[in-house]
Structure 1
């Protein structure tokens, strides 16, 4: 497969700033009623004007639905892509991408620090269909280049990564991918398009769990793919319809609603996380803090170059091993013990026993004394006090 890299995407057709696009792009007032918010078109099928005569291009809501279409246009605008696609979950989006671009015998380079569900999809599902994978430290472009085989078709990256907040240089990896004639996929869930836009840095496809910061309120599960390559966008849309794991209208509406406040929420998430990372770094019972905003973080300079701010996720390790880490999680009160991330409320979890249990015993196994925080938008002094009592 020869692959023409899309290169730098010029979002020239959108002159507005991100905060304005988030509220207006792809979201015109409803033609029928003038409603300023795209309504929830909770409908399965549409009246045709004569056989094959479609009003507005809609015939069946798996293929397209006005509420989902509005979200998909908005996603494309926010990531600077030509095509956005909304799915029932982040993993549904990943599955569609893999089945669109891979065939039996192909190979994928995956990160050594990745969401457990992504690893499980490669290791337990896709591998059965003849797709092989190998692990590389994606924060080292040379390691990634060395991992590329003649049959490699994709380089998969998460930056910041889950749960160790590793940073990968998207521009450098885009260069590796381009030279190898393979596609670069970036999972942008932790950063959100407000903080980082991988397509502008040379990536081919952006993946999101819209469940997280884009939805932002812990009330919806969803996923997205965005690409600047319109031909690839058409292929992905064909498979989205053929496989059917689409976002329903109400879920699409919730994600659209969340996106309108993404910028103001992310500003607070980032400010709170920075304060918390600083407190943890100075705490005697904390042995290590993973936060790209700390100057001592190995990816700090790359993150400062490619991100607007450093995000709302903080991970740290504690003295006393696994039992001590579990005890801190249990003692937290404002930080709710729970999986997922990116909502307005702060969450705490033990990755080894929770979100990353599926990678135990693999190259992606996480430290047993690791705690992951999704820092919410509460008043930061309350969050600091809660963590201090949980640690003490």
Structure 2
């Protein structure tokens, strides 16, 4: 039994102990915050060995930090990966992953159902550096196969997708990718490693916005990458070192606190979301609803196969379109209108005018972002209170 990488331990035990043994100097049970920029070398030769990568050790917090190391090892163990790398944000994790794997002239095949910021990175920013992306319908496996060209060097997807909550057959996508020597990167932010572990389904690399469910309290921005030791070493010693997307040690410490209650929170998020979704499903002002836990969801069975539960995210369409959506979110009282998900509190937003606003109208349509779409990140409040707030807001539409 070990608490370093979590072998032979259960998920909850790893969440509490993974990656850390009380240090011999102080015996601190809680992980310390190493709020330092740099570290003293034993002597000139020791410093030279560290800089030459001949010996492992701490040099500078932009490259590594003991608090980061615990967070990285713990998430890697929970995901079933070999190593992790903490970053300053989820977008930094995605960007660093891509820039470690690809170069000018390479091509990405990506799901079209992804976070607006990621879509913009792939469609607008990366082409400036010679990296193009083909966006496809991720739910049809043949779409992945047909999109492959001699320049394809990466498959990228979210499951569930943001914000339509479509479930991608990760195992099927991985089989196609690996038959063509293409790595698969999965953004697992919505599910967290508690609900699904894409690496065990064949993915090669997992990324997270730790800002969301991993942190859980809406207090810290950060991200993390999990993959093979070789990939993480390359990412750390090249792009991470050169670009500098390191996060504060305090934020790593806060994410560690979040991990300790991750399974408990995800179960409650899922339980509350299921009840809210079932209430919305019957509401006369709801045109349509997407929640993988509903039997009417077209990928309900796939979600049951790939996930432990169905998560805290719901999207639905309200009668009256854009104006009705605005009126709904302007009249909620308990729910918070803001651009985040995965908080302990219930959050609500209108993606077409916010998270996906930077996309052109045609791109929004392609990504499934309709004017009537409302996204709810269901929190941990008493579910009766969440439903009561939505009910009173609906009555004003």
TM-score by length of 1: 0.95
- Residues in 1 aligned to 2:360 and 2:283: alpha-carbon distance in whole angstroms: 28
Identify the residue that residue 313 of structure 1 maps to in structure 2.
Answer: 313
Q: CA RMSD in A?
A: 1.5
- Pairing of 1:348-359 with structure 2 (within 5 A): 348-359=348-359
Match of 2:21 among 28, 50, 71: 28
Which region of structure 1 is more displaced relative to structure 2, 214-223 or 54-63?
A: 54-63
Cα distance, 1:47–1:138 mapped onto 2, change above 3 Å: same
Q: CA deviation at 1:12?
A: 9.4
Which region of structure 1 is more displaced relative to structure 2, 239-248 or 281-290?
A: 239-248
Query: Equivalent residue of 2:353, what SS?
Result: coil
- Residues in 2 aligned to 1:356 and 1:40: alpha-carbon distance in whole angstroms: 36
Query: Equivalent residue of 1:325, what SS?
Result: helix
TM-score by length of 2: 0.94
Identify the residue that residue 53 of structure 2 maps to in structure 1.
Answer: none
Identify the residue that residue 201 of structure 2 maps to in structure 1.
Answer: 201
Query: What number of residue pairs does the alignment pair up?
Result: 381
Cα distance, 1:77–1:85 mapped onto 2, change above 3 Å: same
Which region of structure 1 is more displaced relative to structure 2, 171-180 or 304-313?
A: 171-180
Identify the residue that residue 241 of structure 1 maps to in structure 2.
Answer: 241
- Pairing of 1:12-161 with structure 2 (within 5 A): 14-53=7-46, 57-161=57-161
Q: CA deviation at 1:378?
A: 0.5
Q: CA deviation at 1:248?
A: 1.5
Identify the residue that residue 7 of structure 1 maps to in structure 2.
Answer: none
- Residues in 1 aligned to 2:5 and 2:117: alpha-carbon distance in whole angstroms: 36
Q: CA deviation at 1:52?
A: 3.9
Q: CA deviation at 1:337?
A: 0.6
Query: Equivalent residue of 2:23, what SS?
Result: coil
- Residues in 2 aligned to 1:246 and 1:101: alpha-carbon distance in whole angstroms: 19
Listed as ranges, the gaps of 5+ residues in structure 2 are 51-55
Identify the residue that residue 377 of structure 1 maps to in structure 2.
Answer: 380
- Residues in 2 aligned to 1:198 and 1:78: alpha-carbon distance in whole angstroms: 11
Q: CA deviation at 1:84?
A: 0.5
- Residues in 2 aligned to 1:133 and 1:67: alpha-carbon distance in whole angstroms: 36
- Residues in 1 aligned to 2:293 and 2:276: alpha-carbon distance in whole angstroms: 11
Match of 1:386 among 386, 389, 392: 389
Aligned partners of 1:30 and 1:39 also within 8 Å: no
Which region of structure 1 is more displaced relative to structure 2, 236-245 or 192-201?
A: 236-245
Aligned partners of 2:313 and 2:375 also within 8 Å: yes
Deviations 1:162-213 (A, max 9, x none): 0111110110111011112101110000000000000010000001000000
Where in structure 1 do 4 or more consecutive aligned residues deviate above 3 Å? none
Aligned partners of 1:359 and 1:365 also within 8 Å: no
- Residues in 2 aligned to 1:134 and 1:259: alpha-carbon distance in whole angstroms: 35
- Residues in 1 aligned to 2:334 and 2:139: alpha-carbon distance in whole angstroms: 33
Identify the residue that residue 6 of structure 1 maps to in structure 2.
Answer: none
- Residues in 2 aligned to 1:105 and 1:256: alpha-carbon distance in whole angstroms: 39
Q: CA deviation at 1:217?
A: 0.3
Q: CA deviation at 1:242?
A: 2.5
Listed as ranges, the gaps of 5+ residues in structure 1 are 1-10
Q: CA deviation at 1:258?
A: 0.5
Q: CA deviation at 1:353?
A: 0.5
- Residues in 2 aligned to 1:27 and 1:260: alpha-carbon distance in whole angstroms: 13
